[in-house]
Amino acid sequence: MALSVQLAAGLLLKLLSTMTPRPVPILHRFMVLLELLMVLFAHQNEGQSPSANDASSLNTLLQDYAFRALVHPHTGVIYDGTVPSDLTDIRIAAIRLRSGSLRRREMRYNEFSIPLGLIVKPYVVRLVLVYHNLGNWSSLYYPLPGYTFLTPVIGLLAYDATNLSATNLPELQVVVSESPISINFSNVTTVPNGARCVRFGLNSSLEFENLVSSNSCSTDRLGHFSIVVNSSERGGHSKVWKIVGGVVGGLIALVLFALIVFCISRVRQNKKVAQMEQHADAGVSLQTSRIGNTQVAVASVTRTQPVLENELVM
């Protein structure tokens, strides 16, 4: 941070020195100013990016707010939590369970179908399963370059339930011993070819798996999950549709243009014919006479009577 500020200050002094009456090229001044703005912009982004993309800090925050919903909780009852106002569109919930019940019973928790035979490490008497649905915040906290999210990122994390007012608790490890955990993304209508399940684990680890069905994934541990598709594959299909749409749109535009030209031509032609008919009605009609094989127009009467030259002299 100090280095960036020092560098920015040095560039500012350099810029001020170029503004003296010395014959310094204008292009050089512009380049120095551009360099200064780039440094300041990079410094600003450097100060904002860590807090915006820290998924671990988000988990800690959501654990705190989910535990606040557990006021005199009943075991096995789901309690919806409330997130801070600046994290709208994120949904959380919490449920308190006995570790022994996870081994003997199966349950349904929102999109998660939890089978029996789950093992909690390290062992605790009671635990809380915290549910996350990150909504529109999914790609911000779990960026995945080259892929497009088809579903929001949802998560399921386990914490010790000994002290429900505790914060910054470590996550418990929960693994399956028999059937895997099933995740049903009910909000997915159509899934394109090439779509895959992805699990976001600790330390930014990624695990890709094939879909169990058109909108279902399976896992043997807790974490955050979503259905994604390679952007290049999806972009290829969209590119084809763009080309087809462009061709069809061009043909439609060409047909419309031809119709407009035809209509304008007909209007002009009809107008010209009407003007000719109007002029014909207002003019003097001429009689026609046949001379040989040709029919020509002739005057009906002679307007000027012929006079002999000797009559003019008299």
Flag whether pLDDT at 165 surpasses 50. Answer: yes
pLDDT for 305: 63
From the centroid of its chain, how far is CA 18? 44
Cβ 183 vs Cβ 217: under 8 Å: yes
Q: Which two tokens stand for residue 243?
A: 């080309």
pLDDT at 263 over 90: no
Distance CA 237, CA 231 (A): 10
Rounded CA-CA distance 105/118 in Å is 9
Beta bridge partners of 227: 197
Better-predicted residue by pLDDT, 61 or 304: 61
Distance CA 296, CA 34 (A): 85
Read off the pTM: 0.60
Please say whether the beta carbons of 197 and 227 come within 8 A.
yes
Domains of the chain: 2-52 (no CATH), 55-235 (2.60.220.50)
Convert the pLDDT of each residue in 22-73 to its tens digit. 444 554 555 545 555 554 444 444 433 333 358 999 999 999 999 999 999 9
pLDDT of residue 267: 83
pLDDT-based confidence at residue 261 (cuts at 50, 70, 90):
confident
Q: Residue 1: is its pLDDT beyond 50?
A: no
Per-residue pLDDT of 81-136, as tens digits, reads: 999 999 989 999 999 999 999 999 999 999 999 999 999 999 999 999 999 999 99
- Report d(CA 38, CA 54) in Å as an integer: 25
| CB of 148 closer than 8 Å to CB of 229 | yes
> Which comes out higher in pLDDT, residue 148 or 250?
148
Using the predicted structure, report yes or no on whether residue 298 has a pLDDT greater than 70.
no
Residue 201 pLDDT:
85
